[in-house]
């Protein structure tokens, strides 16, 4: 299923595989000035292609290599001759066959191989816009965001999900996520966050600051409980009332335990 909405000059394209009349998980791409940012998952690639036939994007940039961001690349390249770009660190990951868990296969599917070029530098220009490419590792090692400084647009991929993060995947690094958020705040600019989960956040600075304050306070609580001898499971129970239901739904990938473990490992807890 695809839904679209206009936010000024930016078109949001929300995509999700539909089963039994329900979308399993929404992801979002954004079209602006002939540039597509992310391409969704393979299960919605054909729908995305049809949606874009009359809109003719020239280029597509991936914020990172995950399967829910690159699944439309192959069809768009083959059928619309879209030029595909990604951060240089993404290329080895994009060129290797992913190993997905059953929930990933069900919700997003395996992306087809595509020829992706390395972004030519830390800036990407379209006819009317200038996008700064900012390294923001943490969610993944290759993650970048795109910022149009004259308009305050920040296409933030999966850097920002919620002001109160409660689950994390085992490969995510909460310290890196926090440093990347601070990097954006240090720019001293008001930002509108165009997130990959379909949430558009007009006051991005406030949202990022709120998330950082929450994680810093959570880290202090985790550290104190750890020093007092509480186990990881006890910390999860005391602070969150138990493990998230996402743990069972994702084969133990998205868990609150991963968040606690990452906070302890990073030294922030």
Q: What is the 3-state secondary structure (H, E, C) of the chain?
A: CEEEEEECCEEEEEECCEECCEECCCEEEEEECCEEECCCCHHHHHHHHHHHCCCCCCEEEECCCCHHHHCCHHHHHHHHCCEEEECHHHHHHHCCCCCCCHHHHHHCCCCCCCCCEECCCCEEECCCCEEEEEECCCCCCCCEEEEECCCCEEEEECCCCCCCCCCECCCCCHHHHHHHHHHHHCCCCCCEEEECCCCEECCHHHHHHHHHHHHHHHHHHHHHHHHCCCCHHHHHHHHHCCCCCHHHHCCCCCEHHHHHHHHHHHCCC
pTM of the model: 0.95
Rounded CA separation 154/204 (Å)? 8
- The per-residue pLDDT for 183 is 97
- The per-residue pLDDT for 269 is 52
Tens-digit pLDDT profile for the chain (269 aa)? 999 999 999 999 999 999 999 999 999 999 999 999 999 999 999 999 999 999 999 999 999 999 999 999 999 999 999 999 999 999 999 988 888 999 999 999 999 999 999 999 999 999 999 999 999 999 999 999 999 999 999 999 999 999 999 999 999 999 999 999 999 999 999 999 999 999 999 999 999 999 999 999 999 999 999 999 999 999 999 999 999 999 999 999 999 999 999 999 987 65
Rounded CA separation 60/220 (Å)? 41
pLDDT tens digits, 57-90: 999 999 999 999 999 999 999 999 999 999 999 9
- The per-residue pLDDT for 224 is 95
Specify whether the CB–CB gap between 177 and 103 falls below 8 A.
Answer: no
- The per-residue pLDDT for 268 is 62
């Amino acid at each position: 299923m695809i839904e679209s909405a206009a936010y000024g000059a930016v078109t949001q394209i929300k995509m999700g595989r539909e089963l039994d009349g329900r979308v399993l998980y929404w992801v979002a791409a954004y079209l602006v000035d002939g540039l597509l940012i992310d391409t969704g998952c393979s299960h919605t690639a054909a729908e995305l292609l049809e949606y874009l036939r009359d809109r003719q994007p020239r280029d597509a940039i991936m914020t990172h290599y995950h399967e829910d961001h690159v699944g439309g690349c192959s069809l768009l390249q083959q059928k619309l001759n879209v030029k595909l770009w990604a951060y240089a660190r993404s290329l080895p990951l994009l060129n290797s066959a992913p190993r997905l868990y059953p929930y990933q296969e069900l919700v997003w599917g395996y992306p087809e191989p595509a020829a992706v070029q390395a972004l030519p530098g830390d800036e990407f220009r379209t006819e009317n816009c200038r996008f700064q490419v900012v390294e923001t590792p943490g969610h993944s090692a290759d993650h970048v965001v795109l910022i149009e400084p004259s308009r305050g647009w920040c296409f933030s991929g999966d850097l920002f999900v919620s002001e109160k993060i409660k689950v994390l995947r085992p490969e995510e690094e909460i310290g890196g996520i926090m440093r990347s958020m601070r990097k954006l705040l240090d720019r001293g600019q008001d930002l509108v966050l165009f997130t990959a989960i379909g949430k558009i956040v007009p006051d991005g600075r406030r949202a990022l600051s709120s998330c950082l304050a929450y994680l810093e306070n959570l880290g202090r609580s985790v550290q104190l409980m750890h020093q007092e001898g509480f186990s990881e499971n006890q910390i999860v129970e005391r602070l969150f009332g138990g493990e998230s239901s996402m743990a069972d739904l994702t084969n133990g990938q998205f868990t609150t335990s991963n968040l606690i473990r990452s906070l302890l490992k990073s030294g922030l807890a």
